[in-house]
Amino acid sequence: MQQFNLLVASLPDGILLGFVYGLAAMGLTLIWGVMNVINLSHGPIIALGMFGTFFMVTKMGLNPYAGLIPVAVIGLFIGILIYGIAVHRVINAPHLSSLLATFSVNMIIIGLGTAALTTSPYNVDFSAGSTKLGSTTILGTRLIAALVSMLFTGGLYLFLYRTRPGKFIRAVANNRSAAELMGIPSTRILALSFGLGTMLAAVSGALIATFFPFSILSGGSYELKSFVIGVLGGLGNPIGALFGGLILGVLEGIIPAFLESSWVPVIEFGLFVIILLVRPSGLFGAKK
Amino acid sequence: MTILLSLQGVTKQFGGLQALTNVTFDLPQGQILGLIGPNGAGKTTLFNAINGVYPPENGRIIFRDQDVTRARPYHHARLGMARTHQIVQPLNELTVRENVMVGACFGHENQNLSNSAVIADEVLAFVGLTSRADQLAGSLNVAQKKRLEMARALAARPYLLLLDEVLAGLNSSEIDNMIQTVLKIRERGITIIMIEHVMKAVMNVSDRVIVLDYGQQIAEGSPETIAKDEKVIEAYLGDPKLAEQLLEEE
Amino acid sequence: MKLWHRYSGILLPVLVVAALTLWPVITGKPSNRESAFTILKAVALASSLNILLGYTGYVSFGHIVFYGFGGYVGIFLLTEKDWSLWMAILAGGVASGILAFLLGSAILRLRGAYFALATIGVNEAMRAFINNFELFGGPTGITLNFSVYKTYGGAAQALQTSFYIGAGLALAALLTSYFVRTSKFGLGLLAIRENEDAAEVMGVVTPSAKTWAYVLSAVIPGMIGVLFFFKNGNVEPHDAFPLHASIELLVMVMLGGQGTVLGPILGAFAYQGMRGYLVTSDFFKDIQLSVSGGLLLMIVLFIPAGAIGWLRHRIPLMRRVLA
């Protein structure tokens, strides 16, 4: 009975968090789906998003949700920049090259971030109230974050399926050389896709900043979660990423009711490896 | 007359596509078998099935009295089967000699490094690549890569050699050269199956010919019989040049 | 003449390791010894990883898991079961080898990026698991009782001995790397790296070849782990499975040139040397990770074959010596 209570208490939170995890993972999986690159700078960009919110709130006095727009825009541009500098040259090289290229960006960001911001925790002092659902308390920040994630997911879907650039992105993801033959400027589309991926990562970071304290190193664990979710949902499949995020969120909500919460990562990564072995295309089907 | 290779009812599907249906034949030792058919008939797929790369769903493949239907390609190699690929597969960052040594080391003779170096040099001389022995395989042109592919297969001193379009892209005198090479290979006691589109070569070299069309065996027999076979001509009528060639053989 | 020809590829690597070992002996400074140890440790780890990465072409991001796992097993036996340091080191190596054998059979089926991700997953799962594993001390890990060092002549002497063992392990790593590279087994691995499907068609038994390459690449890291944590006095999950360091290992191998014996050694040397300089320099201290990252990016973008690989391509005559 006690376990059931724990479950009821932590499950809704897990689900809501799951939406945000899904958003982060979508950023990673989009880049993978379009250009077969695993962005190892995903984590630090999430952390940058966290700091984005921090600066918007503390230095500019903005509401963190209003601050999402500039964070998103900056995230987009950072991605385009990273693509141009680090990824473009190795886009057709063996996987190892792009993995190392994005990892070097990871190192660069962390290095600069540690120097500028140290590794002490930062906090965004913000509360959006809370509501009671039966015997459980649901924090406003979680609720809004989940809604925002859903909004961004919907926005991404509309962009990919209802706009011209979106169509180009899907074409390039499907068959880059054929797309080029049809006159689609693949370099610009690839840069845009990368930017979209980092934008989603930054926004998810910005939302997470309203939940927990963070430092420049905090992105790491969310990056790992994004890998797990990406594989769960099928690499290259954004909708799969959302569902994968929910599954992970639910797991994180359920497990502490039965085991100590320190077992959560064991189960997460164990599941990760098992899915890679048993069904590498994920539960919902990978794009490639 | 020993039967080296025996195919019984080999059937292969790729999703909805029926690539091979009920392919059946016996291959005696020392024979040169020509495998022809229009593009997309399933010839390379048949090689892939014989070789273990894409095992068939139904049917059996017996090689040297062993059932190799579901075996992995390295099993086939260990038993003495070697093949060349239609699209060459060189080991780019290794030298030409090292490429050929791989064939000798991991074929059925299981040679050590120093022996395979000797074998490699001998085989390279046979195919005319001695001057390039220390070059990286990736730096060769396509024709040279094809010869390298053949050298690699020969270095394994196989019982059965599967040649997939070795003549593609060669000019008339090069083709004549290659035909002589194939005959010399047979003289060494190696049994050969050749996939070819160059009719002149196939008809002149093969002891026997099998024709595939849409994955089915539509004809089998001596080159002369095949050239006159109505079904064969019909299959190639979609390909006028080849039909003409065939008719010319008469 | 023949002998020189046969072994020229091993000469330079051995000289480098010998130089690193003798330098602190000659100068007599403990700080030099500790710096040399760090480099030798990197040499051993990078050379081992190279067997999997450079020769077989399988990119492992989480290779450090063997260092941590072997280290934990060895330290556990040392402290809880009173094993001698030598036996503990050996046990660490064996444990890692067994782990690699079991893991390899499962994850070596994956290719490319999927394999890389799986290795990350394995490292993180192991770290999280050990974090919960009471027998190995859970989150606080295992701490060596200072009296352990008495058996080895006191703490100072123990550090000296550890240094020599470390040098020995580095030598063992590069000898292993060399003998694999020049063996028939190694030729099969290289064939797998270049074109795994073609290699299989030619008769290379790819599943077992890959697994043994994995095992060989895991044993020495396991041993080094035990040695390092012995020197360190304790082992904790966080220190035992550092993902960032694992990826930096990749950097070292790539920097020098994967697929050669000498490459990872020079790469480890250069990378550790650079880090050592950056960490002590006032200006670079805080951003040393960024500098390393920038360097890595330059290499990936402009000299992907690494320093030794680049030289081998340009100067074919040197191929024998720069094995």
Residue B142 and residue B20 share a domain: no
Name chain B contacts of C190, Cβ cutoff 8 Å: 91, 93-94, 98
Nearest chain C residue (CA) to B111: C184
> Which pLDDT score, from 0 to 100, does residue C50 have?
94
Count of residues making up chain C:
323
Q: What DSSP state is assigned to residue B121? A: H
pLDDT of residue A1: 60
Asked if the Cβ–Cβ distance from C112 to A95 is below 8 Å, we say: yes
Contact of A208 with A50, CB cutoff 8 Å = yes
Any domain includes B229: no
Domain total in chain C? 1
Say yes or no: B19 and B142 in one domain.
no
Residue C1: pLDDT band (50, 70, 90) is very low
The pLDDT assigned to C222 comes to: 96
- Select from C201, C308, C314 the residue whose CB has the most chain B CBs within 10 Å, as the one to mutate to test that interface: C201
The band of B242, judged by pLDDT with boundaries at 50, 70 and 90, is: low
Tell me if A276 and C297 make a contact (CB, 8 A cut-off).
no
DSSP string, C204-225: --HHHHHHHHHHHHHHHHHHHH
Provide the residue range defining the domain that includes B123.
86-158
Q: Do A108 and C109 touch (CB under 8 A)?
A: no
Task: Give the one of A89, A112, A276 whose C-beta lies nearest to C121's C-beta.
Answer: A276
Which residues does residue B211 pair with via DSSP β-bridges, in sequence order?
Answer: B36, B219
Q: Sorting pLDDT into bands at 50, 70 and 90, what band is C201?
A: very high
A155 touching C (Cβ < 8 Å): no
CB-based contact, C94 to chain A, within 8 Å? no
Lowest-confidence region among C91-95, C132-136, C247-251: C247-251
Residues 6+ away with beta carbon under 8 Å from B109:
B156, B157
Q: Which residue has the higher pLDDT, C143 or A130?
A: C143
Q: Is the pLDDT of residue B214 over 80?
A: yes
Count of CB pairs separated by less than 8 Å, B with C: 76
- Domain tally for chain B? 2
Encode pLDDT of A35-58 as tens digits.
Answer: 989 899 999 999 999 998 888 888
Binary contact (C287, A227; C-beta < 8 A): no
Interface contact B101-C188, CB threshold 8 A: no
Chain B neighbors (3+ CB pairs < 8 Å): C
User: ipTM exceeding 0.85?
Assistant: yes
pTM of the model: 0.89
A274 touches chain C (CB under 8 A): no
For C290, which of A112, A260, A272 is closest by C-beta distance?
Answer: A112
Specify whether B76 is located in the same domain as B166: yes
CATH number at residue C20: 1.10.3470
pLDDT for C317 equals 63
State chain C's mean pLDDT as an integer.
87
Give domain status of residue A124, yes or no. no
Using a CB-CB cut-off of 8 Å, the residues of chain B touching C204 are 74, 102, 106
CA distance B247 to B146: 30
Return the pLDDT at B191: 95
C contacts of A85 (beta carbons < 8 Å): 297
pLDDT tens, C253-311? 888 888 888 889 988 988 888 887 777 777 666 677 888 888 888 888 888 767 766 77
Pairwise CB contact (< 8 Å): C200 & B72 = yes
| Co-location of B168 and B133 in the same domain | no
pLDDT in tens, A75-103: 999 999 999 999 999 888 877 788 889 98
- For C256, the token pair is 């020098």
Q: pLDDT band at C244, cuts 50/70/90?
A: confident
Average predicted confidence (pLDDT) for chain B = 89
Q: Indicate contact of B with C: 3+ CB pairs under 8 A.
A: yes
pLDDT at A23: 94
How many domains are there within chain A? Answer: 1
Q: Chain B 203-242, CB below 8 Å of chain C: which residues? A: none
Minimal Cα–Cα distance from C270 to chain B, Å? 25
A267 Cα to chain C: minimum distance (Å): 8
Do B170 and B96 lie in one domain? The reply is no
Of B137, B158, B179, the residue that ends a domain is B158
Question: Are B and A close enough to touch, i.e. 3+ CB pairs under 8 angstroms?
Answer: no
Whether C43 and chain A come into contact, CB under 8 Å, resolves to: no
For B159-176, what is the mean pLDDT? 88
pLDDT of residue C4: 57
pLDDT tens sequence across B65-116: 999 999 999 999 999 999 999 889 999 989 999 999 999 999 988 889 999 9
What pLDDT is recorded for position B177? 84
- Distance, in angstroms, between C137 CA and closest chain A CA? 14
Cα radius of gyration rounded to whole Å, chain C: 19
Question: What residues are paired with A167 via a beta bridge?
Answer: none
Average pLDDT value for residue range A10-23: 89
Task: Tell whether A227 is covered by a domain.
Answer: yes
Out of C184, C198, C259, closest to residue B89 by CB: C198
Query: How much of chain A, in percent, has pLDDT values that exceed 90?
Result: 31
What is the rounded CA–CA span in Å between residue A83 and residue A192?
A: 9
B53 and B11 in one domain?
A: yes
Pair of tokens at residue C257: 């040139």
Residues B71 and B177 in one domain: yes
Give me the CATH number covering residue B6.
3.40.50.300
Q: Is residue B232 part of a domain?
A: no
C109 touching A (Cβ < 8 Å): yes
The answer to whether residues B129 and B174 belong to one domain is no
Enclosing domain of residue C103: 2-319
User: pLDDT band at residue C227, thresholds of 50, 70 and 90?
Assistant: very high
Distance in Å, alpha carbon of C250 to nearest chain A alpha carbon = 8
Fill in the amino acid letter for B10.
V
Is residue B22 assigned to a domain? yes
Task: Name the residue facing C194 among B93, B103, B108 (closest C-beta).
Answer: B93
In a domain, B240, yes or no: no
What beta strand segments (E) does B15-102 contain?
A: 17-28, 32-36, 58-63, 66-67, 81-83
Which residues form the domain of A187?
2-118+140-278
**Domain boundary residue among B158, B184, B207?**
B158
The confidence band for B198, taking pLDDT boundaries of 50, 70 and 90, is confident
CATH number at residue A241: 1.10.3470
* Chain C CB contacts of B156 below 8 Å: 202-203
B174 and B72, same domain (yes or no): yes
Calculate the alpha carbon distances from A111 to A58, A223, B156, C290 in Å: 23, 17, 53, 4
Write the pLDDT tens digit of every residue in A150-164: 999 889 988 988 999
Tell me if B246 is assigned to some domain.
no
- The separation between CA C37 and the C-alpha centre of its own chain, rounded to angstroms, equals 13
- Written as six digits, the tokens of A136 are 């459980």
Instruction: Give me the residue from C61, C132, C250 closest to A262, CB to CB.
Output: C132
CB contact under 8 A, C287 and A272: no
On whether both B107 and B214 belong to a single domain, the answer is no
A1 in contact with C, Cβ within 8 Å: no
Cβ(C132)–Cβ(A266) below 8 Å: yes
Please state, in angstroms and rounded to a whole number, the distance separating the CA atoms of residues A264 and B39.
55
B141, B93: one domain: yes
